[in-house]
Structure 1
């Protein structure tokens, strides 16, 4: 028997509100299954379970605000045999009892009325929300086609008229921007207090990479084209293979680099706010696969459909200013990570190439790193390795 508890979805989380259960007592679950939806300052997050077993009991009700670590459900371990019933000690057989008259048979129970034909299979939260909105859904995305709360909300959004988001602290339903700012500020204050930062910046010539991208995208449809951001992340991930101390989570002594690269991607939300979910196992993905993962992650982040593993397992974060027009950023490490890479806006600059000053596309890259696990010399070599890799995009 084990407890499934409210997970911590980042250094800035203290509690969360259970929105919906996606399992019920008696369901069998496997590691990685999504079993609940929890709302935090970062929006509604799909919660995965990290142990296989059977749901024995749900200990929390939808709507409850629960602190990190609070019990949510009780599980029996997968394959655990039932405890044998205790055997009574052998006793001398008693004399036979006199026969007992057989009682008359009890009347058969009345048959349970079956579900009416056409009844909708739906979670209680989904039923209540459908009644509130006057929406009727026959099939949803849950087990056996059950309608879930998320299905109802998607249908409600699809039917709602498109109107500009009204100004105010809540730019999107279920996401309190003021609360998100408070949580981000608390995490960053902790980072600056506990992590001894050092900073480095370096200008990288991107013209070769841009020319390669132009040629690579020439025959692709817009939805299949590679963006410069995919190349920047691929080069960062590849460079970590030579400088692994910058990839990890400082959670215990002695510090040990992470065996896989779960690369966090800072994503700006429409209406304000920032979330940095991770592309898991980024070192196993080529540039095209990273581009696909980036598109998927950005879409799900803005739709409020992230999983807790994407928020809790990041080992390094990349933040890019894109086309905002700012040359550089100096970031704050997201604890318990030990490094953050920042890319400014690529722009044409005078640079020396082949012995001549030429207009070339360039970007300023910055490194914020934890002095407990690396130093300026190693950090500088890491940025130089990113530069070297971007000069050979064919090999990325």
Structure 2
């Protein structure tokens, strides 16, 4: 009997997707696990996997067209056999209109994917291909996060999971997600739409991309509902620059990785968050969650917006691992090849505009995180040392924080710790 191939929900904030490329055409035979198409979400371009087998009889959505979640993309003429129950064969029901509360749950929020087992642990939701690969790789599916429709485990989830993988923070993260959903303060009503000037010849209408819609919604929610406060200080960047030069000279002779200034800043933030753990927290309605691990969200500019992929358990990563991870994120972000699960687990964010010559700025908190560090360019300027005016190399650090979670003294302690590590950079390598 005919089986509909529907637009799946490929990220937590996705309401529609753009069909970028079909890998199959009418008349092609489809097997479970085949890659059918590439779909662009608000976060990345994802491969869509087949959960049924048969022959494609019609394609309803053409390349380049957008479709809401649950809409029919194509039709299979087959028996629709699969080990998944009926509700799993459908990618997702059409999404309800986005609410401000839903918009407050960002891509970078620490959260668990939809449960891959039932409440009593009786059944794992996984595609047949994922089950086969799991058996070959000896991966315990009960502890793998599913990124497919309805939390279903797909091929890519298994291949990226180490054997015997567990998810020790899943219950805490799930609790946070539930609390944030049920307890979060509703944002104030949106202001009336401003009246635009009359369009003139040469003016251009630019449609919002899925990414830009999510950015607009989330940041409005953040500004309206989160009581921000801001701190700034300057650090002496000369010691860090000197160490970076030495490290890069040595690295050129060994592994060849070139370290950026931002790599050292990220390492300083990770270390400082361990020294001042109250900064690594989130507001959850009637309580605060302080996280065991540092999930470092790194702001990366892309063509139509900003993405913040996460270095998970960053406190356990070496400077080399951090540097390589950021380079990989940046390269794949430009091609929209980052995966939705790479945005999960963020607990604090760093945004660096130094490359554009910006000396200082105030960033907007990335909810439900409690803090974001803004980093400016290293600038040569006169400074006073020992009563004398001498040349100096200074860098401005700004901290935007959620006052529901972080008090001024805690924020000041954290920012001072980051400054200390920049001015004594060898300490962050211990």
- TM-score of the superposed pair, with normalisation by structure 1: 0.62
- Corresponding position of 2:353: 321
Rounded Cα–Cα distance in structure 2 between residues aligned with 1:47 and 1:352: 60
Q: Single out whichever of 214-223 and 332-341 deviates more from structure 2.
A: 214-223
Query: C-alpha deviations, 1:161-186, integer Å up to 9, x for none?
Result: xxxxxxx888xxxxx75443332121
- Corresponding position of 1:17: 17
- Corresponding position of 1:198: 229
> Structure 2: any 5+ residue segments left out of the alignment?
1-7, 24-29, 50-81, 103-113, 125-154, 158-203
Whether 1:185 and 2:186 are equivalent positions in the alignment is: no
Matches within 5 A, 1:133-282: 178-221=209-252, 224-269=257-302, 271-282=303-314
Inter-CA distance 187–81: structure 2 relative to 1 (3 Å threshold): closer
- Corresponding position of 2:89: 59
Inter-CA distance 338–81: structure 2 relative to 1 (3 Å threshold): closer
Rounded Cα–Cα distance in structure 2 between residues aligned with 1:288 and 1:375: 33
Inter-CA distance 217–142: structure 2 relative to 1 (3 Å threshold): closer
Q: CA deviation at 1:377?
A: 1.7
> Structure 1: any 5+ residue segments left out of the alignment?
28-33, 49-53, 83-140, 144-167, 171-175
1:285 to 306, 311, 317: 317
Q: CA deviation at 1:223?
A: 5.4
Q: CA deviation at 1:357?
A: 2.8
Inter-CA distance 45–244: structure 2 relative to 1 (3 Å threshold): farther
Rounded Cα–Cα distance in structure 1 between residues aligned with 2:156 and 2:368: 35
Q: CA deviation at 1:243?
A: 1.8
Matched-pair contact (CA < 8 Å) for 1:212–1:393: yes
Rounded Cα–Cα distance in structure 2 between residues aligned with 1:369 and 1:267: 20
Q: Single out whichever of 194-203 and 278-287 deviates more from structure 2.
A: 278-287
Q: CA deviation at 1:283?
A: 1.0
Give the match's secondary structure for 1:186.
helix
Give the match's secondary structure for 2:275.
coil
Aligned length: 286
Inter-CA distance 79–199: structure 2 relative to 1 (3 Å threshold): closer
Give the match's secondary structure for 2:360.
coil
Inter-CA distance 74–187: structure 2 relative to 1 (3 Å threshold): closer
- Corresponding position of 1:389: 421
Matched-pair contact (CA < 8 Å) for 1:191–1:333: yes
Query: C-alpha deviations, 1:24-46, integer Å up to 9, x for none?
Result: 9988xxxxxx9997532233247
Matched-pair contact (CA < 8 Å) for 1:328–1:344: yes
Q: CA deviation at 1:354?
A: 5.5
Matched-pair contact (CA < 8 Å) for 2:378–2:393: yes
Inter-CA distance 169–287: structure 2 relative to 1 (3 Å threshold): farther
Rounded Cα–Cα distance in structure 2 between residues aligned with 1:312 and 1:47: 20
Matched-pair contact (CA < 8 Å) for 2:209–2:304: no
Matched-pair contact (CA < 8 Å) for 1:18–1:61: no
Inter-CA distance 267–142: structure 2 relative to 1 (3 Å threshold): closer
Whether 1:376 and 2:408 are equivalent positions in the alignment is: yes
RMSD between superposed Cα atoms in Å: 4.0
Query: C-alpha deviations, 1:352-377, integer Å up to 9, x for none?
Result: 34554322221111000011111112
- Corresponding position of 1:97: none
Matched-pair contact (CA < 8 Å) for 1:262–1:280: yes
Q: CA deviation at 1:336?
A: 1.1
Matched-pair contact (CA < 8 Å) for 1:55–1:74: no
- Corresponding position of 2:191: none
- Corresponding position of 2:42: 41
Q: Could you say which structure has the larger radius of gyration?
A: 1
